[in-house]
Amino acid sequence: MRNRQKRHLMWTLGALLLVLALAACQPEGTEGVQPTAPADEASPTPSGPAPQIATPAPAEAVAGPTPASIAQADDAMVLGDPEAAVTIVEFSDYECPFCAKYNLETFPMVKGELIDTGRVYYVFKDYPLAGLHPRAAQAHVAARCAGDQGAYWDMHARLFERQSEWSRSSDRGDVLESFAADLGLETSSFAACLASGRWDAAVDADVAEGARLGVRGTPTFFVNGYPLVGAHPFEVIEEVVGLAEEGTLGEAYQPTQ
């Protein structure tokens, strides 16, 4: 039973936050909450130089969430078997350092051990935080423009790998075009796409959807509809996926009786 009692104790009342660091980018003024909140109330713990540890909410304040209804993503922005038992949807910001940490350190293991093995269907959603990163949306458009040439995930990785380079540039367009050239893309088509605004509405639609679902910071994940906020290590992602596969993820959000 994979030590069900121990896992239940870890998750009950957000106790997981007592032993694992949780970090996410969020605009100033938003409040941290437990991952035990309903999908339409999820938000990250405060960000800062050091990870924050949240205090679990009282039992009477914790409610089991209803799995969120999430729109189908563009085909270029998904990985894995759509018939997999578990779907993970990531709302992320290419300029958020916590998103970069997750994507550089944890996502390769998620892909190799969960997506490529058929256990997880993975969906990426754009969620540039305009208040923190007012020009980040351009990077999200760049990834979609790369997707037009079959290189969405290559550009996705490049944007996180060289986040400090493009995010600090006075001319991000030139840097993004240099990334496209490095990836072997047809740069004139890429530049035309970047300048055209053709993907702006799609990025805005993801942001609107995330806001409707209660996303207030990045990265925010929905695992079979249940929210998980912050740059968690692989062990946490794998644990949540295991619960979802067993059909007990909803129970893990319930307070101890």
Q: Give me the domain span that covers residue 192.
A: 4-252
Lowest mean pLDDT among 45-59, 99-113, 220-234, 240-254: 45-59
Residue 182 lies in a domain: yes
Residue 163 pLDDT exceeds 90: yes
Mean residue pLDDT of the chain comes to 80
Residue 128 lies in a domain: yes
φ, ψ for residue 177 (rounded to 5)? -65, -35
In this structure, which amino acid lies at residue 65?
P
Identify each DSSP E strand in the chain by its residue range.
78-79, 86-92, 120-126, 220-223, 226-229
Q: What single DSSP character describes residue 254?
A: S
User: Which pLDDT tens digit goes with each residue over 125-150?
Assistant: 999 998 888 889 999 999 999 999 99
DSSP string, 13-63: GGGGGGTS-B--B--TTPPP--TTS-GGG--PPPPSSS-B-PPPPPGGG--
Residue 8 pLDDT exceeds 50: no
**How far, in Å, CA of 22 to CA of 175, rounded?**
31
* Tally of structural domains, the chain: 1
Q: What token pair was written down for 58?
A: 């009282």
Q: What token pair was written down for 102?
A: 């997750």
Residue 257 lies in a domain: no
In this structure, which amino acid lies at residue 184?
G
Residue 220 pLDDT exceeds 70: yes
| CATH code, domain with 169 | 3.40.30.10
Q: How many CB atoms lie within 10 A of CB 168?
A: 9
User: Which pLDDT tens digit goes with each residue over 208-218?
Assistant: 999 999 998 99
Residue 90 lies in a domain: yes
Return the higher-pLDDT residue of 22 and 220.
220
For residues 76-86, average pLDDT: 95
